[in-house]
Structure 1
Amino acid sequence: MIKVAKFGGSSLADANQFKKVKDIILRDSSIVITVASAPGKRFSEDNKITDLLYLSYAHLKYSVEYTKMFVHIEDRYAKIKKELNLKLNLGKEFDKIKSKMKKGMNKDYLISRGEYLNAKLLAEYLGYTFIDAKDIIFFNFNGNINIEKTTRAIEEVFKCNSKIIVPGFYGSLPNGEIKVFSRGGSDITGSIISRAINASVYENWTDVSGILMADPRIVDQPKKIDFITYNELRELSYMGANVLHTNAVAPVKEANIPINIRNTNEPDNPGTMIVNNNYEILEEHSISPITGIAGKKDFSILSIYKYPMSEEPNSLLNILEVLKKYKINIEHISSGIDNFSLILSSEHLEKYLYEIIADTKKLCNSIEIKVVRDISLIAIVGRNMVHKPGTSGKLFAAMGNNGVNIRVISQSSDELNIIIGVANENFEKCINVIYNNFIV
């Protein structure tokens, strides 16, 4: 078995966390490549190094003094180095960075130095080989990863080195310039590397012991999910469950490599395994019809009425063209014989509401448009719902018994999820009702 392990910012925030990471890596000989993030917050009021680097760049851009703030970045690394008794020449490293800090500099280069320096320190601390991500993660000029070139480079490095530390979050463009992923991109680095070396497992170490069945800010002490499929994760993530970077899923999913979400502060907790539907052990962990619950507030229902709409098939096409013009995504569509309703983000809709109404009425004669605001969408996700008759009925009965009026209902044909829309004021109550009726 071979593993790739990615450690997030909270896992490498200070020297004490470095020690925990070292213990985890050294006791598991199957971890062959480790991906390091930049130092995260040590406490709630602290700053992430990456945030400070973004701020430093903004100061440069607008000709604002940045040196005093940059000292905080240097001090964080100096403290880690001192407490771990390391020898890395941080002065030389920072001199090189500061020599490039001028207006018009490569923003991505500066922002990526958080991961670069942390990986350097971790490599020395473990006695492992440091490999710069710019030498193995390659972007095309359009921002997409050059998979073939990247895979070849990773395979070549892996052949020549047994234990490797790689900084996450960035790679290089064809001209050699540094290019970063979007925030949280160290997850993607680990995923790409896992696929390239055909890892048995991709471990993603953070500060939570896996994925929870509901938001702990809404449900008191929700249970942990032991096993979840990639498809279920996609549904929950889209509805607001923040677990890992969305783009980190595709490389390992396609290669049928599980992701294991683990807690650096509770290393003996098995965490959550994210797997494909064909994962052998999945059926042993298929008890509850519901895997997880997630939701988001502040949607609007845009309802279009016209008689006889059923005889004018272009009505829906016309409104879709209008929404495309204003770059507004549609969350869900429901329809009747002479009407259809679109669920849209209130924030995006309100910017262009009157323009959308005017354009729609111009394209579709004799129509009526209604807008209902302050709607929350809640997704009930579970691979086992298809095997549990009566799940929908139980859900609707629970809502009715607790005085929650359902404004929107949507269910996928594979019965992987049921999405309901309720008033914002019932959002938290609704999630608790679902959890208490299906999971507790």
Structure 2
Amino acid sequence: MIVCKFGGTSLADIEQIKKVAAIVRGNPERKFIVVSAPGKRSSEDKKITDLLLIASNQDKKLEDRLEALRVFGSRFSDIVAGLDVPVDVPHFVSEIERMIEKMAYADAIVSRGEYLMAKILAAHLDFPFVDAVSFVRFDEHGRYSETRTALEAFNKIRFFDRAVIPGFYGADGRGVIHTFPRGGSDLTGAIVAQFVEAKLYENWTDANGVYAVDPRIIADAPTIQRLSYKELRELTYSGATVFHEEAMFPVMKAGIPIHVRNTHEPENIGTLVSPSENVADADDSHPVTGIAGRKDFLVLAIEKMQMNSEVGYVRRIASVLERHRISFEHMPSGIDSVSIIIEVAKIRTDGRKVGELVAHLVKDLQEDCNPDSIQTFENIALVSTVGKAMRSTPGIAARLFGALARERINVRLIIQGSSEISIIIGVLNSDYEAAIRAIYKEFFS
């Protein structure tokens, strides 16, 4: 049994949906289909989800919200007419209007793009429709609950041998709809694959697979044909965008391979992600599998003499971060120093300026931890060089840092975990693209 997830670009218009239907019908093992809301048809277009975000925003003028809903209805009406399926779009739009009038919870409105797309595709394929709210469960804090989902999925999905399911959302025990972060349909697909015990999870998108490097930086970036779970985890965490960062966990737990494929070129081999961690499977002549990165990190460099002898020091630092509701990405350390790396976008501002919040955080760290000094470094980018053969190949670090030195790029920090399948470097935001080009030239050219 194969579970397929189709992204927004794969469902953007009638012709794209027909391609999706042909792919599904082309293999009778494709039984469970998870869909996103239709994406952009052109660069000037709006995604369906973006229209619903406008419609659900109570700070917007009512006429702007209703206009977004009108465009939403027009697009879906065109799709229904083109596919000739019995789906009543005007009635559905009226229901959303009533939700707006009643000031419904935003997630309930935003989820309706996936819901209606699943209804339409189910009718076109003559598959049963199964609503994600019937089995994807969130807890009372709006967090995904694997335990509750397992119970509901067993009671719901096992009665179907095939189905079309909307991605991106589920519900808590009271039936209140909650959404995953953007790109969350990948996660819904992985959850379905886990609980129907699929032999393969196909993730259909508009790319030929997972790129070895960002194609916006390297125009002829190659795709990676084979990856391990850990390599994919490193690349998606570090910024690779073809596959949602959290979507691999349900299938990884179940040992289900992931196949990332292109809806526009279904004959393309794509990228196969498997459980294999065997270094013997790696290509020693190409020890680096991929390069990824992200900008805009903040580094707090904390120094205190004999920090290594002071029991509980790092715990006190972590307690201050927790009090401020700030998570950190990495914590590299020396004998008398530790650096806290924070992604600026994850700092909850609640309308306040980031600089003000950071100043407050530093003040509390000084009071609770009594460091000798705290320095703040802004505008830092992290670049990850990833490959499972790196841990068994001598000279990788020498080549990496030599390539950066030749381009006169200063490395501000270095991180390597115990798995030894990645080396993360920190550079200034202004050096980010140049650093990626230098590393790519060294290991791929």
Fold agreement, TM-score > 0.5:
yes
TM-score, length-scaled by structure 1: 0.90
Q: Which amino acid aligns with 1:288?
A: H
Partner of 2:351: none
Counterparts of 1:362 and 1:284 in 2: how far apart (Å)? 49
| Aligned residues with identical type, % of pairs | 38
Which residue number corresponds to residue 96 of structure 1? Answer: 95
Equivalences for 1:388-403 in 2 at 5 Å? Answer: 388-403=393-408
Note if contact 1:154-1:197 (Cα within 8 Å) is conserved in structure 2: no
Deviations 1:117-151 (A, max 9, x none): 11121122222222222334344444333133222
Aligned AA for 1:196?
Answer: F
Contact 1:346 1:373 in 2 (8 A): no
Contact 2:54–2:64 under 8 Å retained in 1: no
Moved more, 306-315 or 187-196: 306-315
Query: What is the SS of the residue equivalent to 2:265?
Result: coil
User: Alpha carbons of 1:154 and 1:205: their partners in 2 closer, same or farther (altered >3 Å)?
Assistant: farther
Q: Is the 8 A contact 1:61 1:104 kept in 2?
A: no
Aligned to 1:210: 209
Kindly report which structure 2 residues correspond to 1:22-421, keeping only aligned pairs within 5 A, or say none: 22-59=21-58, 66-143=65-142, 144-145=144-145, 146-158=148-160, 161=161, 163-277=162-276, 283=281, 287-345=285-343, 348=347, 350-365=355-370, 367-421=372-426
> Would you say the 8 A contact 1:154–1:196 is kept in 2?
no
CA-based RMSD of the aligned residues comes to 2.6
- Between the aligned partners of 2:303 and 2:109, the Cα distance in structure 1 is 53
The one-letter amino acid of 2:100's match is M
Corresponding residue number in structure 1 for 2:434: 429
> SS at the partner of 2:111?
helix
Is the CA contact 2:211–2:221 (under 8 Å) kept in the aligned structure 1? yes
Residue 343 of structure 1 deviates from its aligned partner by 2.9
Separation in structure 1 between the aligned mates of residue 282 and residue 307 of structure 2, nearest angstrom? 49
Change (3 A) 1:364 1:196: closer
Q: How many residues align?
A: 435
Taking the aligned partners of 1:404 and 1:136, their CA distance within structure 2 comes to: 50
5+ residue gaps, structure 2, are 348-353
Distance 1:368 1:16, change over 3 A: same
Q: Could you say what secondary structure the match of 1:431 adopts? A: helix
Cα shift at 1:258: 0.9
Q: Confirm or deny: 8 A CA contact 2:215 2:221 kept in the other structure.
A: yes
Q: How far apart are 1:55 and its partner, in Å?
A: 1.0
Deviation at 1:179, TM superposition (A): 3.4
Runs of at least 5 residues in structure 1 that lack an aligned partner in the other structure:
none
Letter of the structure 1 residue corresponding to residue 52 of structure 2: L
Report if the CA contact (8 A) 2:330-2:341 is conserved: yes
Question: Distance between the aligned counterparts of 2:305 and 2:439, measured in 1?
Answer: 38
8 A contact 2:295–2:380 mirrored in 1: yes
